[in-house]
Structures are given as C-alpha cells and as structure tokens.
Amino acid sequence: MAKSVLVVGGGPAGLAAARTLGKLGIPTILVEKEQKLGGRPVIEDYHTLIPRKMTPQQVIGPFIEEVQNNPNIDVKLGVELEACEGEAPNFKVKLSNGEEHEVAAIVVATGFQHFDAKRKGELGYGIYPDVITNLELEQMFSREGKLYRPSNGQLPKRVAFVFCVGSRDRQLGVTNVHCCRYGCALSGLQGTEIREHYPEVDVFCYYMDVRTYGTWEYPFYWAPQEKHGVRYVRGRIAEITYNPQDGRLRVKHEDTIVQRPAEVPMDLVVLVLGMEPSEGTKKVAKILGLAQDPDSQFLVPAEDAGSNIISNKPGVFIAGACKGPIDIESSLSEGEAAGAEAATFIGAKVSA
C-alpha cells in the first residue's frame, strides 16, 4: 500500500499542504473539524484580505477547488484527529468518525482562534453595543454590506480602532504577549474601506506603535493617512464608557504625543483582536506530543531544524497559525513547504 500523509486542518495552511501532496501523487487524507474548508477567513466570512484586497473566495477558493477535485486527496469534513499511536513512518491514527488509518507523515495546520474581547472588560465589549470587534466589522461588511451602529442602526460619525486588544499585553498573563501581526494592516484597510464608502465618517486609529510589516507599510499605513484621511493617535485606549446624554461612547486615553489625558466621543469602537492557539491546536499537540511555547501554547518548531515547519516529532510538520500569528499568504506558503517536506520525508523512506 502506498504511504499516505494526514493533514489536520482545512484552513489556508492545511489546504496548501494537501494540494502540494496531492499534486505530487501522494495519497492524502485531509481532516477538517468544521463542515466547510477554508479556515477562519472562509468560515467566518472575512470581507477583504490584506494585502491584495481580494475576497477569501478569490484567494482561498482556488485551493479549495483543487483539493476537492484531486482524486489523491480524501477530504473528510466534520472530522477531527482523536488519537495517534506509533512512530514515523508508521503512525496509526484514529479519527472522530471512528475510522483508523495508517499514515507515514502528518501535517498539523490547526490554526488559531480569536481573542475573547470580554476579557478586557474595561473596553466595554459585551456591555455597549457600539463596541465591536474587527471580526464583527468584517462580517458587517461581508454579510450586510453596510456600516452602522448596532445600538441604533445609524451610520456612525466617528469610528475608532483600538489596536492590540489581546496582544502585547502582560496583564493577560504571559499567554498574550505576542504581536498579532495582521491587526495594524487590517485596520488600515478597514479604515480605508470606511473612508471610501462613507467619506463623511471620521476614522481614528489608536496605537502603541504601528506594525505594518515589510511591503504592507505603504498600502496599509501611509495610504490610509495620506489618501484617505484616516487619523492616527498615539496612545492606547484604557477605558470606554457611555454617555447617555448624547448616546455616544467616550474613549479614555492619554495622547502620548501631547502628554495629555483625553476623553473623546466616538460612535463606533472597533477592537482589533489578537490570535490565540485554537482548541484544536492544543488538543492535537497533546495527541502527537508536540512541543508548545510554555507561555502562549502555540506550537514551536524543533530547535535545531533551522526551519519553522519541522516539529520536534520526526514525521510531523507544522504550518500556519498553529505556530503563532501569521498572515494568509505565509500560511499558504508554509503549508506548501510542509507538504513538500512531508513528501520528501516519506519519499526518502520509500527509496531507502
């Protein structure tokens, strides 16, 4: 029997791994615990993706199609990895639908979950309807096609983005000290979208420092300010309150450039959420005995590998946001790399 590879997780990273393996003619099993492929961007209806300003369907759709149409790939939806015995290249895996398979290598691409904004109670999420998350803003755009204040359905006059909610924050414990990596750039894009469609709405970004990596700097930091009039304020919002007199929120912060506390009215506040390892990632780490960062619980690559897709367990490869915040393009290329690495791993054994 030809040796096969198991890919866990059908998000960008898992899809790319399965697609590469399938193209190389390797029998591949792709398990995805949801009923749909595509990972967070597809399942949760992101609107427009950084950096190419395309929809999830445009970016991830072709990968989904190729994976579904490749006879080498066996896609199992609503299925999770439950147990694993043995060592590479003879893993015996048990799935949640009761099936058992023998595989020679495993690619883990179990992704992340969004930070729960209720944990930062001072920001008023879950208390004031006009405090929403950036995920909800994406869904407002993609599902309803318009911008409004949840409290009264009207167009906000002012929108504030609060950067780094659930990221770079030791108050949450050591688990959330990392940078979410996409937040600054996505806010630049969302701010731009708002200003393009509603030029009368003022947009403010409250930041500690702005991290729009590499080539994202111009389109998602400068263009929003220079072309679209998004305003950046240095100073992190510490508290959000509500003023019943005018029905508007008040964002309390210190403007650290002016060195002055401020309490400014806003109509809609968008919390820029950090990423945490998904439940699936933590579960799979236990099942396979993968090394995890003691603080964040994200998976960590083998120390001596010099590559971030090689795990501490021979024959197990890790890709995408299960290792920490990462963008979609990088998740896709890591998935491809992990797929190729898995292929050479089993190929080497075959020829030996």
Residues that bind ligand SF4 (CB under 6 A): 163-164, 167-168, 179-181, 183-184, 211, 272
Residues 138 and 125: their CA atoms lie apart, in Å, by 16
Residue 218 touching another protein (CB under 8 A): no
* Phi, psi (degrees; rounded to nearest 5) at 212: -110, 95
The CB-of-198 to ligand SF4 minimum distance in angstroms stands at 23
CB 278 within 8 A of CB 112: yes
The CB-of-185 to ligand FAD minimum distance in angstroms stands at 8
Contacts with another protein by CB under 8 A: the residue count is 20
Cβ distance to ligand SF4 smaller for residue 164 or 285: 164
31 binds, among another protein, ligand SF4, ligand FAD, none (CB under 5 to 8 A by kind): ligand FAD
Residue 182 touching ligand FAD (CB under 6 A): yes
Cβ distance to another protein smaller for residue 233 or 316: 233
Structure tokens at 195: 């200003």
Angle at 175 between CA 319 and CA 317, to 5 degrees: 15
Structure tokens at 272: 């820029």
Q: Which stretches of the chain are DSSP H helices?
A: 12-23, 39-43, 56-69, 134-139, 183-197, 217, 223-226, 279-288, 328-351
Cβ distance to another protein smaller for residue 152 or 222: 222
Residue 225 touching another protein (CB under 8 A): yes
Residues 207 and 211: their CA atoms lie apart, in Å, by 10
Residue 46 touching ligand FAD (CB under 6 A): yes
234 binds, among ligand FAD, another protein, ligand SF4, none (CB under 5 to 8 A by kind): another protein
Residue 34 touching ligand FAD (CB under 6 A): yes
The CB-of-323 to ligand SF4 minimum distance in angstroms stands at 16
Length of the chain: 352
12 binds, among ligand FAD, another protein, ligand SF4, none (CB under 5 to 8 A by kind): ligand FAD
Cβ distance to ligand SF4 smaller for residue 170 or 286: 170
Q: Strands of 86-157 (E only): list them.
A: 91-95, 100-103, 105-108, 112-114, 131-133
Displacement of CA 198 from its chain's centroid (Å): 27
The mark string for 246-285 relative to another protein (x by CB under 8 A, - otherwise) is ---------x-xxxxxxxxx--------------------
Residues 318 and 107: their CA atoms lie apart, in Å, by 6
Angle at 291 between CA 289 and CA 295, to 5 degrees: 130
The mark string for 193-232 relative to ligand FAD (x by CB under 6 A, - otherwise) is ----------------------------------------
The CB-of-225 to another protein minimum distance in angstroms stands at 5
Got the DSSP string for 181-244? SSHHHHHHHHHHHHHHH-TTSEEEEEESS----GGGHIIIIIHHHHTT--EEEES-EEEEEEET
Residue 80 touching another protein (CB under 8 A): no
Structure tokens at 225: 């300010």
Residues 288 and 165: their CA atoms lie apart, in Å, by 31
Of residues 233-292, those binding ligand FAD (CB under 6 A): 273, 275, 278, 280, 283-284
167 binds, among ligand FAD, ligand SF4, another protein, none (CB under 5 to 8 A by kind): ligand SF4
Residues 35 and 212: their CA atoms lie apart, in Å, by 33
Residue 201 touching another protein (CB under 8 A): no
Binding residues (CB under 8 A) for another protein: these are: 202, 221-222, 225-226, 229, 231-234, 255, 257-265
